[in-house]
Structure 1
Amino acid sequence: MIWFYVALGVGVLLGVGGQMLLKSGAGGETLLQQFLAPQSIIGLALYFAAALCYMYALRKIPVSIAFPSVSLSYVLVALLGFWLYGEPITMSKLAGIGLVCCGVFLITRAA
Structure 2
Amino acid sequence: MTLQEFILLLMSILTSVAGQFFLKMGAIKLGRVNMVNAINHILSIMTTPELLIGLTCYALSAVSYIMLLTRVNLSIAAPSTSLVYIFSVLLGYFIFREPIPLTRLAGISLVMSGVILLVWQK
* TM-score with structure 1 setting the length: 0.93
Q: Structure 1 residues 55 and 33 mapped into 2: Cα distance closer, same or farther (>3 Å)?
A: same
Give the gaps of 5 or more residues in structure 1: none
> In terms of Rg, which structure is larger?
2
Structure-2 residue corresponding to 1:28:
30
Task: Say yes or no: does 1:95 pair with 2:101.
Answer: no
Structure-2 residue corresponding to 1:39:
50
Letter in structure 1 aligned against 2:112: C
What is the alpha-carbon distance in structure 1 between the residues aligned to residue 47 and residue 78 of structure 2? 30
What is the alpha-carbon distance in structure 2 between the residues aligned to residue 35 and residue 95 of structure 1? 38
What is the deviation of 1:35? 4.5
What is the alpha-carbon distance in structure 1 between the residues aligned to residue 47 and residue 117 of structure 2? 41
What is the deviation of 1:28? 1.1
Give every structure 1 segment of 4 or more consecutive aligned residues whose post-TM-superposition deviation is greater than 6 Å.
none
What is the alpha-carbon distance in structure 1 between the residues aligned to residue 14 and residue 6 of structure 2? 12
The structure where helix makes up a greater share of residues is: 1
Q: Structure 1 residues 33 and 69 mapped into 2: Cα distance closer, same or farther (>3 Å)?
A: same
Give the gaps of 5 or more residues in structure 2: 32-40
Calculate the aligned-residue CA RMSD, in Å. 1.5
Structure-2 residue corresponding to 1:73:
84
* Matched residue count: 111
Task: Say yes or no: does 1:51 pair with 2:62.
Answer: yes
Structure-1 residue corresponding to 2:74:
63
What is the alpha-carbon distance in structure 2 between the residues aligned to residue 59 and residue 5 of structure 1? 13
What is the deviation of 1:32? 2.5
What is the alpha-carbon distance in structure 1 between the residues aligned to residue 62 and residue 22 of structure 2? 16
Letter in structure 1 aligned against 2:103: S
Structure-2 residue corresponding to 1:105:
116
Identity of aligned residues (%): 37
What is the alpha-carbon distance in structure 1 between the residues aligned to residue 4 and residue 16 of structure 2? 18
Letter in structure 1 aligned against 2:16: G
